[in-house]
Structure 1
Amino acid sequence: MEELTWTRIALALAIMVAASVSDWRSRTASDGHWYIMGAGGSLLFGVQLLDEGASWTFLVCLVLITLVFADLLRDRRGMFEEGVNVAPLLLYALTFLAFGYLSLEHFGEGRYWTMISIPLLIVFFFVMYQLNVIKGGADAKALIALSLVFPIYPELAGLPVMELNDPAALTMLPFPVLVLFNGAILTLLVPVGMLLLNIARRDIRFPLMLFGTRMTIEDAKKKHVWPMERVADGKVRTALLSRQDDEIDWDALQAAGVDRPWVTPKVPFLVPLTLAVPFSLLMGNPLLYLMGA
């Protein structure tokens, strides 16, 4: 059903672009984006299951895992905090039992693996976030929501451009994981863009020109940037690896005679993640392509 595939793509891009714009401007992306995206993805998958005449068990599991997704987004007390929080405990127990029954009745079916991939991906991204591999909460929520939007790999005629020798190898990696992988690749291209921009502006200073640009202190105060130059012991020193918890003292730089310090933009990872959705659709898996798979 190519129409459903295009609808999934439109849903994911519309929500992720809106969330990226919000994250870029204010460094926040409301959970409303992910509620809409996850619920929309579940609805589309439900339509697909009904069209295929799937067993009621699949629909029950889909409803329950969607409720689990919604529960992960909301701020509530823990299941065993200040007594027993019955509602979420019951939800997770029912979800576990439903997927257990699904495994007993439909294990090995193609549709079964599609359904079981949703909770597995949710757990995977949740663990990645807890381990600080995925840094931002919005990034993790976006990837979890993508797991509901794309429970199956979105196959389109003529795509991807990087065609593999074994087309089946492309679908071995779940699409949300591929988006994460390609988002990381796109992040690595930022230095190339910075290099070209600084050459055009004739701001040449290696290696700072790979990681940021020069900007007046007045402009820097208004934008989401970190300085790559700092005043320490009365001297201006270079600091390529700025940290979020570092105190920014623009006045000290100005007092030291630095009117246009080198700064690096605070680019939310949600931006390359969003770009990675169309990139993944168009290009597929660059690593597998280079490996000759």
Structure 2
Amino acid sequence: MADPLLSTLRISLLVICMFAAARSDFQTLSVRDDHWIRWSIPASLVLLLEMASSNAGIENICMTFALLAIFSFCFSSPPDLRNFGEWGRREAILSIFYSLGALGLVGGAVSYSETDFVDLLLGDESPNTALWWSMIGASLTATVFYSSWRFGLIPGGADVKALILMTLFFPSWAFVPEQIYPLAEDPIFRMPPSMVMFVWAAAAFLIAPPVIFVQNATRGNITSIPDLKMAWHATKKKISEVSQFSEMEANPSWILTEIIQKNGENTVVNRILPSSKSTIGTERESDLALLEEMGLDSVWITSKHPFLVYLFLAILPMLLLGDPLAYLIR
């Protein structure tokens, strides 16, 4: 059972961290690395405090630094031992993380090498043994997130940093309060909490296109067959409305209705994906005026839906409902 006070603190920190990141990504399409590095400090301190207060053992405490070591790969390469004499504070701190993380791995492998995995799955092993194996799972989860980013399976660097930081906040279900409305009672297997948040976020991300389509249909934005290809991911706006916020530099929107030269004549096209000149800004005013001259009164606009926003929203179902896949394999 997670400590109520520390759980409240951990959840509050995660919500504030993810809200700030989602807001930044939505408004500026980026999140500074400093944001993730700063928030990793309270995340790791709360985890270390809870482990120390519950006598989790030195192996589990050191496993926290293994997670921090994996997290550090997102920002810098490991220190080069050949340049040991030129190391600064950053290299020294990273080397401590690697050393303590390795101690947690080796020490845990020695201490918990005779684990009965049937008892582990049934929850009959000692708390420290179960915690060490869950920290191994958290480390593997963080490694999967990082590798997915490096291999291009997850394109957003900020998304991966958020997922690994979530893993640091909640490395196992031992640190998550019991769900109020669990989808499965006493599940045999559950994915790591950060992976569960990824699944919930992905599910919400997939629901967005049908919702946008229904909104366009109810607003009467679908008036022709070509509109069907746009209605899944964009909305129609009056040109007069677009002109009012065209000077908002931080507006994460793109105009998909453009004018191109075809056979020497101006032709209106609706793009599926934004082009290099699609971003809303003052340079678009002349194009909007030209569209009006050609008889158009509205254009298709798409807004970026940062995955970080969905990750932020996924905190709630993870805490209330738990693992959705546990319901399927119960």
TM-score (ref. length: structure 1): 0.82
1:210 aligns with 2:232: yes
DSSP 3-state at the match of 2:298: coil
* Partners of 1:150 and 1:91 in 2: CA distance: 22
Alignment of 1:240 with 2:272, yes or no, is: yes
Q: Aligned pair in 2 of structure 1 residues 188, 253: CA closer, same or farther (>3 Å)?
A: same
1:164 to 167, 170, 184: 184
1:231 corresponds to 2:259: yes
Q: Which residue number corresponds to residue 206 of structure 2? A: 188
Report the Cα offset of residue 265 of structure 1. 0.5
User: How big is the shift at 1:127?
Assistant: 0.5
Match of 1:150 in 2: 170
Q: CA deviation at 1:90?
A: 3.7
Going from structure 1 to structure 2, the CA distance change for 1:221 and 1:192 (only over 3 Å counts) comes to farther
Shift of 1:186: 0.4
**RMSD of aligned residue pairs (Cα, Å):** 3.0
Percent of aligned positions that are identical: 24
State the alpha-carbon separation in 1 of the partners of residues 34 and 298 from structure 2. Answer: 39
Q: Give the structure with higher Rg (CA).
A: 2
Alignment partner of 1:33: what SS? helix
Stretch moving more, 221-230 or 185-194: 221-230
Distance 1:68 1:41 in 2: 14
Match of 1:121 in 2: 141
Using the alignment, how far apart are the partners of 1:125 and 1:157 within structure 2? 25
Shift of 1:113: 1.0
Contact 1:224 1:265 in 2 (8 A): yes
CA distance in structure 2 between the partners assigned to 1:292 and 1:60 by the alignment: 33
SS at match of 2:221: coil
SS in 2 for 1:235: strand
CA contact (8 A) 1:37 1:149 kept: no
- Matched letter for residue 140 of structure 2: L
1:51-97 deviation digits (Å, cap 9, x = unpaired)? 221222332332x33652563354x5664599577537844652335
Structure 1 gap ranges (5+): none
After the TM superposition, which of the residue ranges 10-19 and 203-212 deviates more from structure 2? 203-212
Letter in 1 for 2:111: E
Q: Which position in structure 1 is the counterpart of 2:26? A: 24
8 A Cα contact 2:212 2:235, kept in partner: yes
Which of 274, 277, 286 is the equivalent residue of 2:315?
277
Q: Which moved more, 1:182-191 or 1:232-241?
A: 232-241
Cα deviation digits, residues 79-118 of structure 1 (max 9, x gap): 4599577537844652335422321123432121122233
User: How many residue pairs end up in the alignment?
Assistant: 284
Tell me the TM-score normalized by structure 2.
Answer: 0.74
Equivalents in 1 of 2:44, 2:299: separation in Å?
48
Gaps of 5+ in 2: 116-128
